[in-house]
Amino acid sequence: MRTYVWSLLVIGALSTQGYSADITKNSPEVVVAPPSTEETLKAVRNELQSKRADVMAKNLTLTAEQASKFWPAYAKFQEEQNVIVDEQLKSLKSYADSYETLDDTSATAFINALLSRDLKMNTLRRKWLAEFQKTLPVRTAVRVIQIDRRLGLVGQISISSQIPLIY
């Protein structure tokens, strides 16, 4: 079951990354090893970041001056989000690895990790709303956080829908 749960988490990332473990015709002895957990986590995070930045860019109209200040700040925002997302993905891997033998303590630790993630993400968004308001009009800064929150909710639903409930 843990392999199934973990594989569900990484299938999306790997399928969108163009990952292929095919053996070439000329070199049948060459086998490409599957990515490590760390590589997979990095791929998932990078894919999320790329999609978020693309959606953000398509939904914001910035002057050249605003853009020159916003995008470096947004990159820092994403770096801080990475820490939270990585913690969540590691927690999900731990859950997947111990799903079949999960005890009460581990179950509680898992849900506390999810709740902590939510709190950290909301705290981060509040912090960066204030930062974005320093360089963007208020409504634009609010739109940035609104878009990010929506993307986060979609991502959380996507992940949550693949994780079996604790029994």
| Residues 96-111: tens digit of each pLDDT | 888 889 999 999 999 9
* Residue 20 domain boundaries: 2-160
Q: Rounded CA gap, 67 and 61, in Å?
A: 9
On whether residue 73 sits in a domain, the answer given is: yes
Q: What share of the chain is helix, strand, coil (3-state, %, to 5)?
A: 80, 0, 20
On whether residue 59 sits in a domain, the answer given is: yes
Q: Kindly indicate the confidence band of residue 30, based on its pLDDT and cuts at 50, 70 and 90.
A: low
* Mean pLDDT along residues 61-79: 96
Count CA within 13 A, CB hemisphere, residue 21: 7
On whether residue 166 sits in a domain, the answer given is: no
Domains: count for the chain: 1
On whether residue 40 sits in a domain, the answer given is: yes
Q: Rounded CA gap, 79 and 144, in Å?
A: 16
Residue type, 79: E
On whether residue 25 sits in a domain, the answer given is: yes
On whether residue 167 sits in a domain, the answer given is: no
- Model pLDDT for residues 113-132, shown as the tens digit of each residue: 999 999 999 999 999 999 99
On whether residue 165 sits in a domain, the answer given is: no
Q: Is 135 exposed, middle or buried (0-12, 13-18, 19+ CB in 10 A)?
A: middle
Name the pTM for this structure: 0.74
Count other C-beta atoms under 10 Å from residue 95's C-beta.
24
Q: What mean pLDDT is reported for the chain?
A: 82
The two structure tokens encoding residue 137 = 């009009």
Q: Are 89 and 41 in contact (CB under 8 A)?
A: yes
Q: Are 47 and 80 in contact (CB under 8 A)?
A: no
Q: Rounded CA gap, 74 and 132, in Å?
A: 8
Percent with pLDDT over 90 in the chain: 50
